[in-house]
Structure 1
C-alpha cells in the first residue's frame, strides 16, 4: 500500500510524535456544536487518534463511533472516554475497507484524509459517501500544507498531505455533495499550518 502504514502510525503514538494533536477537541468542532451546525445524531470520527473529538461528541449526547487502525490510538481513545466518563464505540479498522452496521447521520473528518496518501483518496471519498445516509452531513477540515517541492517539482509530500480545495471539490463533486459557497473558515493549527472548514451534505 502506498503511503503510511499502521506500523508507521503505531510508532508515532508510541514515541509521542503526534504534532497534529492539539491536546483537546478542535475549536472548529466546538464552533459547529455550539452554533447548532452539528446536533446529536449517529456520527463517525475516522482517524480518531487520541479521541478528543470522540469524547466531546459523546459528552454532548452523540452516538459516536471512532475509527483508527492503530492499536495505540484505539487504546488511548478508549482510555480518554473512560477517564471522562462518556460512552463511545472505538473500532480498530482500516477506513478504506470499514463497513458500518447501519448508515451514519454525520461524519466528522479532521485528520484522516490528510494522513492517507492521495492515491487512496478516491476510495476513501467513496467510503464516506457510502457510510452516510442521504442528506447526511460531512463536517470536514481540509489540511493546508503546501510545500515548496510540490510547487516546483510536483512532489507528493506528507503526511500530512496538502488538501487543495480545488482537489477536494473534484474528489467530493457537486453531483454527490452539496457544497456551501466560499469563503471557508480558516482554522489555525498550533503545530502545523491551517485547515479550511467545510460542512457538506450528501446527496
Structure 2
C-alpha cells in the first residue's frame, strides 16, 4: 500500500523523539474517559490503533480491563510503552502497521488516529475497522468536525463525509457534538459510536 511520506514510521518516530506531539493531551480524552466509565464488561477485546502515549490504555488498566491491544508504527514510542506497561499482563503492545494487523475485537477506541492519516487512506481505514471488529463490534471515540486551514496532520473532516464513509458497514449509534471535549478542542469534535452491521 502506498503511503504519503508523512505517514511513515520515520516521520512519526522523529515527532516522538523531538517531543513534537501537539496532539498529545497528557491525559485520557474526557469523552473517551466518560465512555470507558460506562463499560461494564471488563473482558472486552479492545484495540487502540495509532495509540500514541496511550493514556486511554492506562485508564482501561486502572479500571480493570483485561484484554487491551495497542498498536503504533513509531519504534521509539513503542519502546517507551513496553517499558511503561512492562508489569501488566492485560495489555499487548504491537509495533506495526494498523493496515496489516489481523485479529478480532469487540471495541476499537478512536482518539487522533483517524485525523493523523492522509485522507486518501480513509476508505482503507473504514474497511480495516470493519475487518477487525466482530459482528456488533463498535468503534467509539472522537472525530474532528472541522476542516483545518493548514496542511495536516492533523487532517480535518466533516459529519457529512463520515456518514458516507462509514454508512455502508456501520450503524450510527451515537453521532453528535462532544459536550465534554478538552478545552482546546471545544466545538470541533464529534463523539461517535459506530456499530458494525
- How many matched pairs? 191
Relative to the length of structure 2, the TM-score reads 0.87
Change (3 A) 1:182 1:96: closer
Residue 16 of structure 2 corresponds to: 13
Q: Which of 167, 181, 185 is matched with 1:188 structurally?
A: 181
**Take 2:9 and 2:189, find their aligned partners in 1: how far apart are those partners?**
24
**Take 2:182 and 2:115, find their aligned partners in 1: how far apart are those partners?**
14
Change (3 A) 1:170 1:138: same
Change (3 A) 1:25 1:79: farther
Q: Which moved more, 1:175-184 or 1:65-74?
A: 175-184
CA RMSD of aligned residues (A): 2.1
Residue 120 of structure 2 corresponds to: 119
Q: Specify the SS of the correspondent of 2:99.
A: coil
After superposition, the C-alpha distances for 1:100-159 in whole angstroms (9 at most, x for unaligned) are 2xx10110011111101011111111000000000011102102452347xxxxxxx210
Structure 2 gaps, min length 5: none
**Take 2:53 and 2:45, find their aligned partners in 1: how far apart are those partners?**
20
After superposition, the C-alpha distances for 1:22-67 in whole angstroms (9 at most, x for unaligned) are 111111121012233x742110000011121112112322410001
**Take 1:51 and 1:80, find their aligned partners in 2: how far apart are those partners?**
10
Alignment of 1:139-154 (within 5 A): 139-148=140-149
**Take 2:23 and 2:183, find their aligned partners in 1: how far apart are those partners?**
9
Structure 1 gaps, min length 5: 150-156
Q: Which of 78, 84, 98 is matched with 1:74 structurally?
A: 78
Q: Which moved more, 1:73-82 or 1:9-18?
A: 73-82
After superposition, the C-alpha distances for 1:70-94 in whole angstroms (9 at most, x for unaligned) are 11221222233247x5631110111
Is contact 2:142–2:190 with CA below 8 Å preserved after alignment? yes
> Is 1:200 aligned to 2:194, yes or no?
yes
**Take 1:3 and 1:48, find their aligned partners in 2: how far apart are those partners?**
19
After superposition, the C-alpha distances for 1:179-202 in whole angstroms (9 at most, x for unaligned) are 136533245345566421111111
